[in-house]
Amino acid sequence: MVTLKTESVALQTELAGRTTAALSSEVRPQVTGIVKTRNFEEGALVKAGQVLYQIDSASYQAAFDEAQATLGSSEAAVSAAQLKDARYAELRDIEGVSKQDADDAHTSAQQAVAAVAQKKAALATARIDLDHTQVRAPISGRIGKSSVTPGALVTASQTTALATIRALDPIYVDLTQASGVLLQLRRTLAAGGLQAAGTDVQLKLEDGSVYPRKGRLKFAEIAVDEATGSVTLRAQFPNPDGLLLPGMYVRAQLDEAVDPKAILAPQQGISHDAKGNASAFVVNAEGKVEQRTVTTQRTVGDAWLVSSGLAAGDRLIVQGVSKIKAGDAVRVVTVDLASPTPASSAPVVAKASASAASKGH
Architecture of domain 13-21+167-260: Beta Barrel (2.40)
Residue 190 is predicted with a pLDDT of: 61
Q: What is the pLDDT of residues 279-337, one digit of tens each?
A: 888 888 888 888 888 888 777 777 888 878 888 888 888 888 778 888 888 887 887 76
Among the CATH numbers 3.90.320, 1.10.150, 2.60.40, 1.10.287, which is that of 57-132?
Answer: 1.10.287
Q: Within 10 Å of residue 202's Cβ, how many Cβ atoms?
A: 19
CB 54 within 8 A of CB 133: yes
The amino acid occupying position 268 is Q
**Is pLDDT at 191 greater than 70 in this prediction?**
no
Q: Between 2.40.50.1020, 2.40.420.20, 2.60.200.20, 1.10.357.10, what CATH number should domain 262-358 receive? A: 2.40.420.20
pLDDT of residue 195: 54
How many angstroms separate the CA atoms of 263 and 194, rounded? 13
Q: Where are the domains of the chain?
A: 13-21+167-260, 29-53+140-160, 57-132, 262-358
Is the Cβ–Cβ distance between 315 and 269 less than 8 Å?
no
Q: What are 232's strand-pairing partners?
A: 176
pLDDT digits (tens, 9 = 90+) for 110-125: 777 788 888 889 899 9
Mean pLDDT of all residues in 55-68: 92
Select from 70, 74, 84 the least CA-distant residue to 112. Answer: 74
Helices (H), the chain: 58-93, 99-131, 179-191, 354-358
